[in-house]
């Protein structure tokens, strides 16, 4: 369950989540990985799973993005989605 944390509200989080499915343009893999990492941290906290094998390229890229955040707050996730939506 998502809770209010570090300046972002649950409402902002849910609005950002809804916007992901309505993006008109593909934001590119780098931005999608950042959004994924911020979402994982918002919903599960800092990365605490074992690193995928070196031949599991997709999951390794996702893990690396999530792990790179350290303890960064989840308040940035809605802002990242908003910047991709073009509604700002």
User: What's the CATH number where 45 sits?
Assistant: 1.20.80.10
Provide the 8-state DSSP code for 67: H
**Residue in 50, 87, 46 with CA at minimum distance from that of residue 68:** 46
SS3 75: coil
Q: What angle do CA 19, 75, 58 make, to 5 degrees?
A: 65
Record the pTM: 0.67
Query: Could you read off the pLDDT of 62-76 as tens digits, one per residue?
Result: 999 999 887 665 556
Instruction: Give the separation between CA 18 and CA 22, rounded to whole angstroms.
Output: 7
Task: Give a yes or no: residue 3 inside a domain.
Answer: no
Task: Give a yes or no: residue 71 inside a domain.
Answer: yes
Residues with Cβ < 8 Å from 52, sequence gap 6 or more? 59, 60, 63
Structural domain count of the chain:
1
Farthest-apart Cα atoms in the chain, separation: 39
Average pLDDT score, the chain: 78
Q: Reply yes or no on whether the pLDDT at 79 is more than 90.
A: no
Asked if residues 79 and 53 have their Cβ atoms less than 8 Å apart, the reply is no
Domain coverage including residue 64: 10-85
Q: Reply yes or no on whether the pLDDT at 52 is more than 70.
A: yes
Task: Give a yes or no: residue 1 inside a domain.
Answer: no
Task: Give a yes or no: residue 2 inside a domain.
Answer: no
Q: Reply yes or no on whether the pLDDT at 19 is more than 70.
A: yes
């Amino acid at each position: 369950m998502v809770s209010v944390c570090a300046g972002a509200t649950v409402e902002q989080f849910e609005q950002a989540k809804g916007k992901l499915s309505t993006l008109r343009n593909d934001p590119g893999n780098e931005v999608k990985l950042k959004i994924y990492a911020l979402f994982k941290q918002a919903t599960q906290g800092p990365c605490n799973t074992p690193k995928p094998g070196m031949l599991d390229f997709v999951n390794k890229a996702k893990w690396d993005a999530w792990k790179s955040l350290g303890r960064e707050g989840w308040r940035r996730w809605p802002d990242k989605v908003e910047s991709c939506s073009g509604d700002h």
